[in-house]
Amino acid sequence: MNLKEKEILLIGNPNVGKSVIFSRLTGARVTASNYPGTTVGFTQGALKLKEGEMAMVIDVPGVYNLEPISKADEVAVDMLQKGDMVINIVDATNLERNLFLTLELRERGVPMVVALNMWDETRHKGIEIDINKLEKELGVPVVPTCGLTGEGIKELVERLREAEDLDFKPLSREHKWEEVGKLVDLSQKLHHHHHTLLERLEDISTRPSTGLPIAALVVYASFSVIRFIGESLISFVFDPFFERIWLPLMMRLGSLLGGGGILHDILIGKLIDGKIVFIESFGILTTGLYVPFAAVLPYILSFYLVLGILEDLGYLPRLATQVDNLMHKLGLHGYAIVPMILGLGCNVPGAMALRLMEGRREKFIAATLMATAVPCMAQIAMIVGLVGKRGGGYVALIFGVLIGILVIKGLLLNIFMRGRSPEILWEIPPYRLPQPKAVLKKLWMRITGFLKEAVPYVLLGVLVVNVLYIFRVFNFLAQIFSPVLSGLWGLPENTISAMLIGFLRKDVAVGMLGPLGLTTKQLVVACTVLAIYFPCMATFVVLVRELGVRDMVKSAFLMIFTAVIVGTIMNLIL
């Protein structure tokens, strides 16, 4: 078949490596990890064919069959209606389960090629597959591939044109499984193989007696490593750069601008004791650059490095299994840990991963808990930077309160919302050694994503702050909100500026608390309230899309309510 301008769909079970194959085919950068559900929306890219012709390749979320259960499944089944052709990606180490979908796809009549992916792993696992027999029985081209190394991709592209319209009569569910059984018996031989070290690790991290301590250890070690790398980068790389190279430049620019005036204040900011203080001056070229690059970037870098390694290893589904019990008490199930962990990096991808949740109830609970109690890494970095100076215990206090809110709010929502959290059912992939190249590529994607999306908003935020100060808008609003701010939370009226900017960027908002001369108690209350009262704009937009307007309004009401209550209690107790 002629492939010019055709739409080719990549369809297969979850976690068979569709996204890796997609990157190989199109050269496009997409996030791939070793756990089911990395891709929740569809991504498309162009595939160059030989004669300079292009075809469109679409990476579709993984499905087990064509009867949709979750929103991500629906996306996949909808896509199938409009595709011209299917590449069915099959996990070669798991032929039996994967082939059911293959048979379903074959009945749809759309031209199809089967890619037997993870071909390299079959050898280690003692699986031998006779490709020719399988191809003959299935009646469609079958190509062994290995997405990670790129093996077989060229042949896959070449054989695409062999695919033709199919005409197979529909079989019932039982008959399909019978057919799958026949196909597997004919084409696959299993050999005995010895347990590898990775497989032994799989066993001990799954069993609860050893799995729970391992989970605690992994989480603790991860945060220690993130902190160590983040702090080292700040004190040995970014701070020295800003203090030794950028500061003299800015001082000179400042005196060129006359040491004061509107332009000076917007670009350089206020001088503190005659000097620029990067975190307090609030000029676009000083604080505006220092916040994203020196305060936040180091932590974003270390967080996504550690997360990438855990993702590619395949640890997340195991962690999900270990915490399933606990999450059920909060009205969720274990897999809700995935959006929460992604939310720790940035709430936006966390909110997008909410699609992994099947029902409206859990989606609502997960979204509300994440937006209130899971601060993003940018915010965490700023809190650590600012509050940490007053003592590490205060940082711990803020996170302790947030964890408390997560647990209490989850317990309450679980009691008061009708329905119950669904049972889990997910596949636990084998451990795979993370490939340094793949990990770095993913890290690079996420870092450039952060820089492209966050830096403009931080700069805009700093500009807006300055403009609002010049027009004295904050003074006016401060009076309106003073009953809550001063009355309930015990904060000075001028913190309204930070609360407002929090809608735009939470890291800038936390930074704004710096120059206000707050007491330690006020700083702790303000940081906590900033974390819980409302999501930032970018997250809000995604949440509205995922939850719908009605649920979002309810959820936002709960967030503001929590902020008022928690802020007041902290003000009274501390």
Partner 1 sequence: MGIRPGVKITKLSSHFWRGPVTVLVGKAKIAVGHGVAHKILVEVSE
Binding site for partner 1 (CB under 8 A): 64, 93-94, 96-97, 100, 125, 127, 177, 202-203, 206-208, 211, 317, 320-322, 324-325, 333-334, 422-430
* Least gap, CB of 123 to partner 1 (angstroms): 13
Counting every residue, how long is the chain? Answer: 574
How far is 60 from 79, CA to CA, in rounded Å? 8
SS (H, E, C) 97-140: HHHHHHHHHHHCCCCEEEEEECHHHHHHCCEEECHHHHHHHHCC
Q: Are 529 and 486 in contact (CB under 8 A)?
A: no
Least Å from the CB of residue 421 to partner 1: 9
Nearer to partner 1, 98 or 495 (CB): 98
Give least dist CB 116 to partner 1, A: 14
Q: Quick one: tokens of 312?
A: 């590619």
Q: Return the number of the residue (425 or 541) whose C-beta is nearest partner 1.
A: 425
Place of tokens 């005409």: 167
Name which of 59 and 91 has its Cβ closer to partner 1. 91
Q: Which is nearer to partner 1, 211 or 449 (CB)?
A: 211
Tokens of residue 537, six digits: 């704009």
Give the SS3 label for residue 89.
Answer: strand
- Which whole-number Å values give the CA distances from 448 to 44, 300, 454, in the listed order? 20, 11, 10
321 or 379: whose CB is closer to partner 1?
A: 321
- Which CB, 208 or 392, lies closer to partner 1? 208
Closest CB 547 distance from partner 1, rounded Å: 24
Distance (Å, rounded) from C-alpha 327 to C-alpha 333?
A: 5
Structure tokens at 270: 């206020």
- 16/559 with CB nearer partner 1: 16
Decide if 292 contacts 310 (C-beta within 8 A): no
Q: Which is nearer to partner 1, 93 or 222 (CB)?
A: 93
Report the nearest approach of partner 1 to the CB of residue 189 (Å): 13
Q: Is residue 158 within a helix (H) or strand (E), and if so which, with residue range?
A: helix 153-159
Q: Tell me how many degrees the CA angle 123-63-329 measures, rounded to the nearest 5.
A: 105
Question: Which residue has tokens 């300055």?
Answer: 466
Q: Which two tokens stand for residue 256?
A: 């060129």
Answer for the pair 363, 354: CB distance below 8 angstroms, yes or no.
yes
What CA–CA distance (Å, rounded) separates 376 from 184? Answer: 47
What is the smallest separation between the CB atom of 52 and partner 1, expressed in angstroms? 42
Shortest distance in whole angstroms from residue 93 CB to partner 1:
5
Q: Which amino acid is present at 432? A: R
Least distance between partner 1 and beta carbon 353 (Å): 18
Nearest to 353 by CA among 331, 338, 372, 375: 338
